[in-house]
């Protein structure tokens, strides 16, 4: 016994340190017999629990006796004096052994218990409970005030120890120190095992448990409620597992058992290995070894999870590969995947047409495929042979095995590297350049044609510029010629008018009889001279007007005037001719604004139009209608019921010297210049002159002018 005994007795302590309790438990574990366990407990009570004297008595129910087997604070003789039969039911200590759990004897007068003189003492039962008889008593002096919890705890520890020790073969052990040592050693070995080890009898009662098993399956009185419940549960699970094993369920003698860690409350998974052992003396029992497989199970679960994850990843990779295949197949350009050795490992359909021999194809097709393969392999091995290049671009001359036609392709090969930079594959994409080459050719042709066209356009433009220059010169020459002509005509007209006026003057004087009386034939001839000379003068005047206009020598003089007045003036001037024609001339003049334009030119136009109407209207009437049209325009129409003008001549009559009837035998006189002068004057006044006429129904000439002529 290693515990030091204190010299001063300590008053009954209410609390004992956990270390002290642990020390007793360890000590009891080491004890291989009942006496030494009882002695250790007695001494512990004196040292740690405040007892002054202690006696431990053991009950031998088979012999019906209770005898002191250990003591502390008392002599051996003294505690061995305690010995009496259990058949005395009224003996106070027999009563203490069979009833209740503790008794205090304050002034023991009974001569049968002269243990501590007349000092009071407390008796606490060791073991016993339910149907089991008590194993003995701990008697402690002085009597404990209040509940003897520490003594009870020590009694429980001793009880468990005694149960354990009682399983050991007692006789030889007691007698043979070597065997005792061996047993102690064996027990220590079992205790040292980290796996819980238990021995139960056939009823399932726990006979022996090592320290680890005790931790799981036993609970001292003073432990927490939670821990007690955990221990109860563990016992329940263990018994159930044992009974199932006995029934032969599951794998023989090996099954899983889920228990609760009483200190931490966590789940613990054990593998239960139980073996039946039979001993001739102790009968048959079951040895159970519990192997903690919590971590193992967790590891297994982890492995399962990892495996499942691996399977999922594998499926994903497979799906990805299928998708990739689909993608590669849907690309129109040939794609070829080669391994590290340059062997083709994958290709899409367009590539398949170039690099695989279709069964039943001819010798030529096979030769082409072989040649294609050789060209491709040499291209890829070019990339493989260089360690630093990751891509390669180049042209390969391939042929279509089906048609035998050249397929010029541009190849782009790229190395596929793993995360650690290891070459995994080479992917090559071939791009058919046939179309691009054709397009290029076409483009070249187009460029050529376009350049040709450009040249032609340039030549044509130069020619045009030449022509333009020529035309410009011609126009200049014409202009000069026209100016010369106008000048010539003006000069000639002037030179003609002077002698003509002299002729007219002398003819008039002679007709008036200045040179004497004229005979009738003389007068007739002279009248003809006068008429022809007047016609010639008109002609000369009109030619002079045209040449003046063309030479730009006809100035415009804008004045404000009343158009109605002007119309009256014109009809008055032509009155002799109107009277001679016998026609009715009607003027219909609306409300007109004051006009601001060249009055003289408007008058010349109106005189001309009215003269023509009188000339070409044998019968009927002539109407002059003037009215406003719009805000800034007036129209003057000269309407006759005369011979009319055929449609074909509507444009022609406005040209110089043009007449509808220009034959020498024509019915009407005239120069054919009147309308062309009218047209020119109208243009100068920024107006228009229009004709509507039907043959034999009459004509209408409509003059439209702006009321105000802006310069
Ligand atoms: P001319 O001096 O011949 O009248 P014009 O230039 O004034 O010259 O007229 C040209 C021709 O237009 C005339 O010769 C005539 O044939 C035709 N003409 C002009 N006015 C009329 C009209 N009111 N009715 C029919 N014919 C006309």
Same domain for 387 and 463: no
User: What's residue 228's pLDDT?
Assistant: 86
253, pLDDT greater than 60: no
**Which residue is closest in CA terms to ligand 1's atom 7?**
674
Query: What is the CA(663)–ligand 1 centre distance, in A?
Result: 14
User: What's residue 226's pLDDT?
Assistant: 86
Same domain for 498 and 549: yes
678 lines ligand 1 (CB under 6 A): no
640, pLDDT greater than 80: yes
235, pLDDT greater than 80: yes
613 lines ligand 1 (CB under 6 A): yes
Report strand pairing: 688-694 vs 698-706.
antiparallel
Same domain for 590 and 474: no
What atom of ligand 1 comes closest to residue 676's alpha carbon? 6
Give the Cα separation of 113 and 83 in Å (integer): 10
640 lines ligand 1 (CB under 6 A): yes
Same domain for 73 and 11: yes
CA 553 remoteness from chain centre: 84
Question: pLDDT for 560-575, tens place per residue?
Answer: 999 999 999 999 999 9
Query: What is the CA(446)–ligand 1 centre distance, in A?
Result: 62
672 lines ligand 1 (CB under 6 A): yes
Same domain for 632 and 621: yes
Same domain for 538 and 460: yes
259, pLDDT greater than 80: yes
- Of 554, 576, 610, which one is at a domain's C-terminal end? 554
Question: pLDDT for 72-111, tens place per residue?
Answer: 998 888 888 888 888 887 888 888 888 877 888 877 666 6
Same domain for 550 and 572: no
CATH of the domain at 508: 1.10.287.130
> For the chain, what is the domain count?
5
Confidence band (pLDDT; 50, 70, 90) for 551?
confident
641 lines ligand 1 (CB under 6 A): no
Query: What is the CA(545)–ligand 1 centre distance, in A?
Result: 18
**Which residue is closest in CA terms to ligand 1's atom 21?**
612
Which range among 117-131, 190-204, 218-232, 519-533 has the greatest average pLDDT?
519-533
Query: What is the CA(672)–ligand 1 centre distance, in A?
Result: 7
Same domain for 165 and 55: yes
Same domain for 692 and 566: yes
User: What's residue 367's pLDDT?
Assistant: 92
The proportion of the chain whose per-residue pLDDT surpasses 90, expressed as a percent, equals 38
- Of 428, 448, 476, which one is at a domain's C-terminal end? 428
168, pLDDT greater than 80: no
616 lines ligand 1 (CB under 6 A): yes
Query: Global pTM?
Result: 0.39
Question: pLDDT for 301-311, tens place per residue?
Answer: 899 999 999 99
Query: What is the CA(297)–ligand 1 centre distance, in A?
Result: 131
663, pLDDT greater than 90: no
- Of 379, 412, 428, which one is at a domain's C-terminal end? 428
Q: What is the mean pLDDT of residues 214-227?
A: 81
How much is the mean pLDDT over the chain?
85
Confidence band (pLDDT; 50, 70, 90) for 5?
very low
Residue 154 covered by a domain: yes
Confidence band (pLDDT; 50, 70, 90) for 167?
low
Same domain for 442 and 423: no
559, pLDDT greater than 90: yes
Q: What is the mean pLDDT of residues 33-62?
A: 89
Confidence band (pLDDT; 50, 70, 90) for 70?
very high
660 lines ligand 1 (CB under 6 A): yes
16 lines ligand 1 (CB under 6 A): no
CA 595 remoteness from chain centre: 79
Give the Cα separation of 422 and 419 in Å (integer): 7
Q: Which domain holds residue 566?
A: 555-706
Q: What is the mean pLDDT of residues 239-257?
A: 68
Residue 21 covered by a domain: yes
Residue 369 covered by a domain: yes
CB-based contacts of 480-489 (< 8 A; 24+ apart in sequence): 482/550, 483/551, 485/547, 486/547, 486/548, 486/550, 486/551, 487/547, 487/551, 489/543, 489/544, 489/547
Confidence band (pLDDT; 50, 70, 90) for 176?
low
Residue 467 covered by a domain: yes
pLDDT, greater one: 276 or 130: 276
Query: What is the CA(673)–ligand 1 centre distance, in A?
Result: 9
Task: State whether the Cα torsion 674-680-682-685 is positive or negative.
Answer: negative
- 432 pairs with which residues across the strands? 409
Which range among 102-111, 247-256, 442-451 has the greatest average pLDDT?
442-451
Omega before residue 142 within 30° of 0, cis: yes
671 lines ligand 1 (CB under 6 A): yes
- 560 pairs with which residues across the strands? 596
Question: What are the residue ranges of helices labelled H in 4-148?
Answer: 18-30, 34-48, 76-80, 92-98
Confidence band (pLDDT; 50, 70, 90) for 118?
confident
Provide the angle, in degrees to the nearest 10, between the axes of the packed helices 674-684 and 599-615: 150
Query: What is the CA(581)–ligand 1 centre distance, in A?
Result: 16
387 class by beta-carbon count within 10 Å (0-12 exposed, 13-18 middle, 19+ buried) = exposed
User: What's residue 111's pLDDT?
Assistant: 62
Query: What is the CA(664)–ligand 1 centre distance, in A?
Result: 15
72 lines ligand 1 (CB under 6 A): no
Query: What is the CA(157)–ligand 1 centre distance, in A?
Result: 160
Q: How far apart, in Å, are the Cα atoms of 116 and each of 81, 82, 107, 137, 147? A: 11, 11, 11, 15, 21
Q: Give residues with Cβ within 8 angstroms of 709, minimum separation 6.
A: 556, 558, 596, 597, 598, 685, 686
- Give the chain's length: 711
What atom of ligand 1 comes closest to residue 698's alpha carbon? 24
The proportion of the chain whose per-residue pLDDT surpasses 70, expressed as a percent, equals 92
* Six token digits for residue 549: 């206009």
User: What's residue 215's pLDDT?
Assistant: 85
Question: pLDDT for 475-505, tens place per residue?
Answer: 999 888 877 877 787 788 778 888 899 999 9
User: What's residue 1's pLDDT?
Assistant: 35
Residue 323 covered by a domain: no
Q: What is the DSSP string of 398-450?
A: EE-TTT--EEEEEEEEEEEE-TTS-EEEEEEEEEE-HHHHHHHHHHHHHHHHH
User: What's residue 173's pLDDT?
Assistant: 42
User: Which of 542, 653, 657, 680 is the best mutation target for the ligand 1 pocket, counting ligand atoms within 8 Å of the beta carbon and taking the most?
Assistant: 653
What atom of ligand 1 comes closest to residue 660's alpha carbon? 16
643 lines ligand 1 (CB under 6 A): yes
Confidence band (pLDDT; 50, 70, 90) for 2?
very low
CATH of the domain at 617: 3.30.565.10
- Return the SS3 of 461: helix
SS3 for 282-312 is CEEEEEEEEEECHHHHHHHHHHHHHHHHHHH
What atom of ligand 1 comes closest to residue 654's alpha carbon? 6
Residue 221 covered by a domain: yes
Residue 571 covered by a domain: yes
659 lines ligand 1 (CB under 6 A): yes
CATH of the domain at 353: 3.30.450.20
469, pLDDT greater than 80: yes
User: What's residue 246's pLDDT?
Assistant: 60
Confidence band (pLDDT; 50, 70, 90) for 599?
very high
Same domain for 12 and 26: yes
Same domain for 51 and 85: yes
369 touches 360 (CB < 8 A)? no
User: Which of 537, 539, 608, 616 is the best mutation target for the ligand 1 pocket, counting ligand atoms within 8 Å of the beta carbon and taking the most?
Assistant: 616
User: What's residue 607's pLDDT?
Assistant: 95
Residue 309 covered by a domain: no
Query: What is the CA(578)–ligand 1 centre distance, in A?
Result: 17
- Lowest-pLDDT range, 101-105, 376-380, 391-395, 561-565? 101-105
């Amino acid at each position: 016994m290693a515990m030091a005994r204190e010299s001063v007795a300590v008053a009954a302590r209410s609390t004992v340190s956990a270390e002290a309790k642990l020390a007793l438990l360890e000590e009891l574990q080491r004890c291989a017999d009942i006496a030494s366990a009882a002695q250790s407990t007695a001494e512990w009570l004196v040292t740690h629990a405040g007892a002054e004297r202690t006696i431990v008595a053991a009950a031998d129910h088979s012999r019906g006796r209770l005898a002191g087997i250990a003591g502390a604070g008392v002599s051996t003789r003294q505690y061995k004096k305690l010995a009496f039969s259990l058949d005395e039911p009224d003996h106070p200590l027999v009563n203490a052994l069979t009833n209740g759990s503790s008794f205090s004897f304050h002034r023991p007068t009974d001569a049968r218990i002269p243990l501590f003189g007349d000092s009071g003492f407390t008796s606490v039962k060791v073991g016993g409970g339910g149907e089991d008889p008590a194993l003995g008593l701990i008697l402690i002096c002085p009597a404990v005030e209040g509940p003897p919890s520490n003594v009870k705890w020590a009694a429980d520890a001793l009880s468990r120890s005694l149960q354990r020790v009682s399983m050991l073969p007692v006789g030889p052990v007691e007698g043979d120190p070597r065997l005792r040592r061996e047993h102690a050693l064996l027990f220590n070995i079992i205790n040292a095992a980290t796996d819980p080890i238990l021995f139960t009898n056939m009823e399932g009662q726990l006979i022996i448990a090592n320290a680890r098993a005790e931790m799981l399956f036993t609970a001292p009185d003073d432990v927490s409620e939670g821990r007690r419940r955990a221990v109860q549960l563990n016992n329940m699970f263990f018994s159930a597992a044992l009974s199932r094993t006995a029934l032969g369920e599951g794998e023989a003698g090996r099954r899983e058992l889920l228990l609760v860690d009483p200190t931490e409350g966590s789940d613990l998974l054990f593998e239960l290995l139980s073996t039946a052992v039979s001993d001739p003396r102790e009968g048959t029992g079951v040895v159970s070894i519990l192997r903690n497989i919590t971590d193992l199970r967790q590891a297994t679960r982890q492995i399962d999870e990892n495996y499942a994850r691996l399977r999922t990843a594998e499926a994903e990779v497979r799906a990805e590969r299928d998708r990739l295949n689909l993608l590669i197949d849907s690309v129109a350009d040939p794609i070829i995947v080669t391994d590290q050795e340059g062997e083709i490992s994958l290709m899409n359909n367009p590539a398949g047409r170039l690099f695989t021999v279709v069964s039943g194809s001819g010798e030529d097709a096979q030769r082409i495929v072989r040649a294609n393969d050789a060209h491709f392999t040499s291209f890829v091995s070019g990339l493989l042979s260089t360690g630093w290049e990751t891509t390669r671009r180049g042209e390969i001359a391939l042929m279509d095995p089906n048609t035998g036609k050249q397929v010029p392709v541009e190849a782009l090969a790229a190395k596929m590297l793993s995360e650690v930079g290891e070459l995994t594959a080479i992917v090559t994409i071939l791009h058919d350049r046939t179309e691009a080459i054709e397009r290029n050719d076409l483009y070249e042709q187009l460029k050529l044609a376009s350049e040709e066209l450009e040249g032609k356009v340039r030549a044509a433009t130069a020619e045009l510029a030449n022509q333009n220059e020529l035309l410009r010169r011609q126009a200049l020459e014409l202009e000069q010629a026209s100016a010369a002509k106008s000048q010539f005509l003006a000069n000639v007209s002037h030179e003609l008018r002077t002698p003509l006026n002299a002729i007219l003057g002398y003819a008039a004087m002679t007709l008036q009889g200045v040179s004497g009386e004229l005979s009738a034939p003389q007068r007739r001839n002279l009248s003809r001279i006068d008429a022809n000379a007047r016609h010639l003068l008109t002609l000369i005047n009109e030619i002079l007007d045209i040449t003046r206009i063309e030479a730009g020598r006809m100035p415009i003089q804008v004045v404000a005037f009343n158009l109605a007045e002007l119309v009256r003036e014109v009809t008055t001037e032509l009155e002799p001719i109107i009277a001679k024609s016998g026609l009715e001339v009607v003027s219909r003049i609306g409300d007109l604004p004051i006009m601001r334009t060249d009055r003289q030119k408007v008058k010349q136009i109106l005189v001309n139009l009215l003269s023509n109407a009188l000339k070409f209207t044998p019968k009927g009437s002539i109407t002059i209608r003037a009215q406003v049209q719009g805000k800034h325009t007036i129209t003057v129409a000269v309407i006759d019921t005369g011979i009319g003008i055929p449609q074909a001549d509507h444009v022609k009559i406005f040209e110089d010297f043009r007449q509808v009837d220009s034959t020498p035998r024509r019915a009407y006189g005239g120069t054919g210049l009147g309308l062309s002068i009218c047209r020119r004057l109208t243009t100068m006044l920024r107006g228009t002159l229009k004709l509507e006429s039907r043959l034999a129904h009459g004509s209408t000439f409509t003059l439209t002018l702006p009321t105000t002529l802006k310069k």
